[in-house]
Structure 1
């Protein structure tokens, strides 16, 4: 018994290849037999046509008995002789016809001698009649011989095809049974070995560290897998820890993963310098705030903040000083906003605040004053006092627009209007609309200038 899955598969594939080769050879043999039979039948048909031509020429000669018709008979007989000579290499099946044709040739020679002698004598007339009857007999025998050869060819072809089909069918049945047997053997052994390994793995999953795979009747490939599995269970029994220790380790690893996940989420949503929301996180929070405002009927305001004189400080005292200013401003903005509000840094020295859950906008003047004051307070850096101010633009939801992008754009445009004024300032256009926002000159029905 073969104890290797590879060897079984190799035997199966080899047998399949032999089966395929046998089928190809069988069809090739059948095709060859058919081609040979076709050639022989074509030869018989050609000879039959020659014999029919000879018969027709003889009939003409017997009707007219003149020299031209005799020459046509001789010509037809000569063509038949030529074809028989050409087909002689196919075998001896046309030998009888060739002998008949030779006899016919001899009779035609006698016919010519009688034709030039006294054919009107009693002896000549009798000889001529005898020759004519011999003509008909020979041509008839040729036709019968061709019919016999035709039948022999067909019988031989049928016998050859029967033999080919019989041997091919026998080998096909044998190879098919062998393939089926090998495939069934592989299936049974594979299923048995796989079930043994599966049972051992299930036992191990249930905590049975003494699980072991019996390799006595396995194929060599599965024996290797079973050997490593058994070695693994031995190592597990030697190195396994208690359930309590395992639970503690799982808790510790889970906490570490949770902390790392929280860190990754924080880094993906917050500005790495200030810790404020980045643009993506601010947009996401603003979307949620707009949905909540639509549902609750509350209002919200966007404060777009740009630091004045920040570039001058940054160029004069360096990027470290600029970073200190940004971090300090971010901390101050967090202190002057409510817990429901959220602050983001859009990049550079631009900040944005969303005042959420507002019942009205009456709080805005006081809140913007508070923010400008907090930003304008001095910042100490390397024993120096640095000061920056803020230009603020305000937009209102839903009074001005219900669209998130339009809300930010209105606040941004209002901020740029505020920057036209020297020093800290806030521009609040309470009736700015989305359509007015697209034009170069925006008309504001109510605007007020606030200074700290």
Structure 2
């Protein structure tokens, strides 16, 4: 409501401003026509010839046509425009006298017909300019009054609206607290084993509906004469079951169902905290991107069950090689990620990678078949290579593809990582 009031007020103020500008433009047009007529009259008084008179009549006719348009609707402005029309008509009469003066013998002097006409012209133009100034001031004043009324109305409506909103909020809060307190008392009674009490319902809001359902539940419990200890045991059993289900669902949502490692989404959440922690403590870390080679051939030759067995054994090898505080995730079919934190130098990371290479070199058993598999490992260092997860993943992924170009289980680092640690020994 308050937002609508503000928008309407802005729209109204804009319309008032546009009306004011339009009226000022109209006043400016009239002023321009009067100035044009004044200049033509000056030429007529200077040269007293037929051409000057024709031009003056044309200017007079243009001003007459403009004034006869319904430019304004306000009463006072209409009166001023009518006065301008009357004075313009007087100028037309004076122009007829100027025509006769041209046909007669021209005489100079302030008391001559030409002098008298010049004085009348000047007085009429001065009066028209004064009325034009009144018209302009009236347009500005009307705009100011309209804007002031709009602003006062908006302020009043906003104050009233705010008061109404505050009253409704307090009333809603009071009703909510009353119903919530009644529901709290009912729950406490239920916890004590009191099945006879009922929550008094006075409203039809959401909490009242909840209280009604709560009363129905207590009545059902009372009718079935469940004892307090049995009810408590049932509640404890259901609570424990729900907690176990919740933990299972949480574990399934955060872990890969096959390898029990972190899933991609859970790994990204863990990484946000880990990267922020490293940035805050100024520690270094490393991201290992591992892609298994020849995994598709195992699936094709021995079946998906063999591939699943390989993935499970690979996950166990990873868990046995790195620290318990490090983060391991399976992010794709045969893609794994390891986050090593903290590290002091690149040598530590290479040591871990060499252990992984040794583990990957050992054959894996599936039924009566020994399976061999290679891995390509790409490494990204925090903060040398990147300070964000997306950047680290890109660096590690690029290095992993470079490692794929070499046969066997290999790894690749970026060049700046090799010089980023002073004690790194790169073969």
User: Hey, what's the Cα distance between the residues in 1 that align with 2:7 and 2:98?
Assistant: 58
2:211 aligned partner = 226
1:406 aligned partner = 363
1:116 aligned partner = 103
Is there any run of 5+ residues in structure 2 with no aligned partner, and where?
Answer: 249-257, 260-304, 322-357, 372-406, 409-427
SS at match of 1:93: helix
TM-score under structure 2 normalisation? 0.53
State yes or no: 1:172 paired with 2:172: no
State yes or no: 1:104 paired with 2:67: no
Shift in alpha-carbon separation, 1:290–1:164, aligned structure 2, 3 A: closer
SS at match of 1:94: helix
Residue 68 of structure 1 deviates from its aligned partner by 2.0
Q: 1:200 aligns with which of 183, 186, 199?
A: 186
User: Hey, what's the Cα distance between the residues in 2 that align with 1:288 and 1:85?
Assistant: 94
Q: 2:46 aligns with which of 50, 56, 63?
A: 63
Residue 76 of structure 1 deviates from its aligned partner by 1.3
1:215 aligned partner = 201
SS at match of 1:235: helix
Q: Which has the larger radius of gyration?
A: 1
Shift in alpha-carbon separation, 1:404–1:184, aligned structure 2, 3 A: farther
Q: 2:19 aligns with which of 36, 42, 54?
A: 36
State yes or no: 1:138 paired with 2:95: no
What per-residue deviation string (whole Å, max 9, x for no partner) do you get for residues 143-162 of structure 1? 11100111111112222222
1:190 aligned partner = 176
Shift in alpha-carbon separation, 1:185–1:242, aligned structure 2, 3 A: closer
Shift in alpha-carbon separation, 1:131–1:230, aligned structure 2, 3 A: same
Residue 52 of structure 1 deviates from its aligned partner by 1.0
What per-residue deviation string (whole Å, max 9, x for no partner) do you get for residues 50-93 of structure 1? 11111122222222233322222222111111111224675343
Query: Which region of structure 1 is more displaced relative to structure 2, 124-133 or 39-48?
Result: 124-133
Instruction: Give the RMSD, CA atoms, in angstroms.
Output: 4.4
SS at match of 2:131: helix
1:93 aligned partner = 80
Q: How does 1:41-440 map to 2 (within 5 A)?
A: 41-87=24-70, 90=73, 91-120=78-107, 126-216=112-202, 218-219=203-204, 221-239=206-224, 240-241=226-227, 243=229, 402-403=359-360, 406-408=363-365, 412=369
- Alpha carbons 1:287, 1:404 under 8 Å: kept: no
Residue 35 of structure 1 deviates from its aligned partner by 2.3
User: Hey, what's the Cα distance between the residues in 1 that align with 2:25 and 2:368?
Assistant: 99
Is there any run of 5+ residues in structure 1 with no aligned partner, and where?
Answer: 1-15, 262-267, 270-277, 295-400, 415-434, 437-452
- Alpha carbons 2:108, 2:115 under 8 Å: kept: no
Shift in alpha-carbon separation, 1:407–1:160, aligned structure 2, 3 A: closer
TM-score under structure 1 normalisation? 0.50
Residue 291 of structure 1 deviates from its aligned partner by 9.9
Residue 280 of structure 1 deviates from its aligned partner by 8.4
Shift in alpha-carbon separation, 1:237–1:57, aligned structure 2, 3 A: same
User: Hey, what's the Cα distance between the residues in 2 that align with 1:279 and 1:94?
Assistant: 100
